[in-house]
Amino acid sequence: MGRVLVSAGIGTVLCAGPITAILALGWLTRWSGHRLRDRFGRAAEAPGWVLGPREGHGRPTARLTRALGGLAANMRAGVLALTALMVWTLPFTLLWLGAWWAGWENSFNKGYEQAAVGPTTFLAGWALAALILPALPLMLAHLAVEDRLAAAFELRRLRSLLGQAGWRIPALSVLTAVLAGPFFAARGLITLAPSIWPGIEDLDPQAIAEIQGWITLGLATMAFVTAWTLRWAATAIYLRAAPRAAGLRPGLWDGAEAAEAAVPAVAPSRLITALCYALAMAVTLGLAFLILAGQFLDHAWWRWVFHPAMTLPWAG
């Protein structure tokens, strides 16, 4: 329990900034990969925040590797995971960003003759997001256990994972939407603060800065706990789905970590798989609408690209 609280504390501090949040993302990725490999029969030392492993290849590690190996590994894993996430999500987040400019910003500046551009672009991104987002958690789990960027784009393996996951995919989408909800509500704090807390506008700058600091700390805590919870759920689903997918199509999974843990499985119904994924897509459409609504309260451009529950666990 003590180790969990320490990790939560370190992760909270790191999630307060965009650069340090990459370290938190890397640690979460390594934590997921370690848990998966441990269950697949390849136990190793748990990932650290700063320290590296005590041994490597059966020999004690060098002092520098021991002192800073965990930090370097977290940065590497974070950059790896963030790169994969950006490749998967930028196609629709850039459409949303463009739609915001072509829609709301364009109308605000009296460009009414192009009014259809914004909604059309956003709807295209909306459909793309609904198709991609339900698969991201299993993609991240597969990337974590394989520890290579190419694993994030092994579409045939990912498709077989989704088939074995079944109803757990829409369940995970619901969990993501629920845990993402408070972040949308938090965007209205600045706009609604005077009505929630009468007299806040009369506070001196130092007092306001202290309040902003506490809000940032609270959001950072929520960002890390949310990301950790979702990663734990996705890892649990992968632990069940991957050995069954490997047992059903062993040739497809040759060389993968899950291959040695393969178990016999029954081919899933394509209809049931499609219905489960369609349900997850419907939930994701609602989540995308909340993202749009949140932008009207705080429309910083980077909020289209980064979200604590889906990409970088940064509560900026």
* Farthest-apart Cα atoms in the chain, separation: 70
Partners of 56 in beta bridges: 59
- Pair of tokens at residue 283: 């939930």
pLDDT at position 54, please? Answer: 66
Ranges under pLDDT 70 in the chain: 52, 54-67, 102-115, 188-203, 208
pLDDT at position 277, please? Answer: 97
Per DSSP, the residues of 249-289 read -TTTTTTSGGGGG----PPPPHHHHHHHHHHHHHHHHHHHH
Domain boundaries, the chain: 2-304
Residue 213's closest CA among 7, 17, 6, 2?
A: 17
pLDDT at position 184, please? Answer: 81
What letter would DSSP give residue 43?
-
pLDDT at position 15, please? Answer: 94
- Pair of tokens at residue 13: 């501090």
pLDDT at position 106, please? Answer: 59
- Give CA–CA dist 136/126, Å, rounded: 15
- Kindly give, in sequence order, each residue whose CB lies less than 8 Å from that of residue 130, ignoring residues fewer than 6 positions away: 281, 282, 284, 285, 288
**Residue 74, amino acid:** N
- Kindly give, in sequence order, each residue whose CB lies less than 8 Å from that of residue 25, ignoring residues fewer than 6 positions away: 77, 78, 81, 82, 227, 312, 313
**From its phi and psi, is residue 58 left (phi > 0), alpha (psi between -120 and 50) or beta?**
left
Q: Within 10 A of 135 (CB to CB), how many other CB atoms are there? A: 19
- Give CA–CA dist 53/60, Å, rounded: 9
Rounded to 5 degrees, what angle do the CA atoms 282, 284, 289 make?
100
Which alpha helices (DSSP H) does the chain contain, by range? 2-14, 20-39, 63-100, 106-108, 117-132, 136-146, 155-165, 168-186, 189-196, 205-248, 270-295
- Give CA–CA dist 161/169, Å, rounded: 10
Check if the beta carbon of residue 9 is closer than 8 Å to that of residue 15.
Answer: no
Q: Cα separations (Å) of 188 from 19, 198, 236, 262?
A: 25, 15, 34, 48
Provide the whole-model pTM: 0.89
pLDDT at position 69, please? Answer: 77
Residue 153's closest CA among 95, 87, 239?
A: 87
